Amino acid sequence: MVKPKVLVTRRWPAAVEAQLSESFDTVLNTTDKPLCAADFKAALSSYDAVLPTVTDVIGAPALELERAQTKIIANYGVGYSHIDIGAVNHLGITVTNTPDVLSECTADLAMTLLLMAARRAGEGEREIREGRWTGWRPTHLVGTKVSGKTLGIVGYGRIGQEMARRAHHGFGMKILVQNRSKVAPEVLAECNATQVENIEALLPECDFVSLHCPGGAENRHLINAQRLNLMRPGAFLINTARGEVIDELALSQALWFETIGGAALDVFDGEPRINPALLDCDRLVMLPHLGSATREAREAMGFRVIDNLRDFFEGREPRDRVN
């Protein structure tokens, strides 16, 4: 049987690239640089499968085509708001993602950010590296206690639930949940969580708010100036979801005027560009989109893509089809 022709848009862990190459006629983008719109248009006309990541915006090029050679876009990652599902649907392309395998590691990073923001860890690190530390004193970089506080989780999917487990079982936090659909009582019960009606009801009740909802147009600027104003003075906002979920200018103003206590971001609107307004905010921790960046998760994500490709090309329904 002729092996399906597969394009991998970025470098993957070596073990996954090796397994992929055994089963498929694989072309790797050895430059490891993001492809441009023209590259995608060409790829959709010549490969049976395209395997993108969050850095690959797939929309306009697909729309311009009348037909595609590509039958499946198997995304390396759980979030797929960079793929215009409407645009690829008209070409009959199946789209899959990689849920589950990165939930624990992403929640670990969200918890890391929460702790860093609460305990002013980024500020402390900068102080040492810049030679500004003058020694221990009772009033130095005093942060906020985490244990026993209230955490609001926006989006109670797999990652949101993992975050709740860490916060509730590890730190005795009280969990409030906002989710677009009703969460099953037994799922809430695991962390003694309470689901609230909407985000307006959640924000004023929380010491910490962690975002775990999808990105894309539907959630663009879900956290805007008005909603930031609903947060408690001294509360913290954590984002490991997608950058566009927060109005970053409004966040920078909330941090400047100290209407909230701090924030921690792993994702940015238009990343890797960083809104200059954020760079001046001291009470802000920033990481370069590291949510799933562990060896274990990144390998598991690749193997999950391969599972989806095997399902598809062997005539089964792909396990993680999203369209």
Active-site annotation, residues: 242, 271, 289
CB 263 within 8 A of CB 238: yes
Output the smallest distance, CB 298 to ligand DGY, in A. 9
132 φ/ψ angles, rounded to the nearest 5 degrees: -100, -5
Residue-wise DSSP of 103-115: HHHHHHHHHHHHH
Query: Residue 77, interface with ligand DGY (CB under 6 A)?
Result: yes
Stretch of 2-10, 77-85, 127-135, 309-317 contacting ligand DGY, by CB under 6 A: 77-85
Nearest CA among 118, 280, 141 for reference residue 207: 118
Output the smallest distance, CB 67 to ligand DGY, in A. 28
- The correct pick among 49, 68, 78, 251 for binding ligand DGY (CB under 6 A) is 78
Q: Is the dihedral of CA 213, 253, 204, 261 positive or negative?
A: positive
Binding to ligand DGY, residues 101-120 (CB under 6 A): 102
Stretch of 35-43, 71-79, 114-122, 151-159 contacting ligand DGY, by CB under 6 A: 71-79
Output the smallest distance, CB 77 to ligand DGY, in A. 3
Query: Residue 54, interface with ligand DGY (CB under 6 A)?
Result: yes
Between 234 and 288, name the residue whose CB sits nearer to ligand DGY: 288
CA 127/CA 249 separation, integer angstroms:
25
Stretch of 75-83, 173-181, 196-204, 256-264 contacting ligand DGY, by CB under 6 A: 75-83
Nearest CA among 91, 75, 95, 69 for reference residue 4: 69
**H or E element at residue 150:** strand 150-154
CB 305 within 8 A of CB 94: no
CB 294 within 8 A of CB 13: no
Between 228 and 264, name the residue whose CB sits nearer to ligand DGY: 264
Between 261 and 302, name the residue whose CB sits nearer to ligand DGY: 302
Output the smallest distance, CB 110 to ligand DGY, in A. 12
How many other CB atoms are there within 10 angstroms of residue 180's CB atom? 13
Between 157 and 261, name the residue whose CB sits nearer to ligand DGY: 157
Output the smallest distance, CB 102 to ligand DGY, in A. 6
Query: Residue 9, interface with ligand DGY (CB under 6 A)?
Result: no
- The correct pick among 12, 16, 20, 79 for binding ligand DGY (CB under 6 A) is 79
Give the binding-site size for ligand DGY (rule: CB under 6 A).
Answer: 8
Output the smallest distance, CB 301 to ligand DGY, in A. 7
Report CA-CA distances (Å) from 234 to 79, 167, 195, 198.
Answer: 30, 19, 23, 21
Kindly give the interhelix angle for 103-118 and 121-129, rounded to the nearest 10 degrees. 70
Stretch of 31-39, 72-80, 201-209, 257-265 contacting ligand DGY, by CB under 6 A: 72-80
Output the smallest distance, CB 85 to ligand DGY, in A. 15
- The correct pick among 122, 155, 157, 291 for binding ligand DGY (CB under 6 A) is 291
CB 51 within 8 A of CB 27: no
Report CA-CA distances (Å) from 187 to 65, 111, 156, 180, 192.
Answer: 44, 20, 9, 15, 9
Between 252 and 292, name the residue whose CB sits nearer to ligand DGY: 292
Q: What is the binding site for ligand DGY (CB under 6 A)?
A: 53-54, 77-79, 102, 291-292
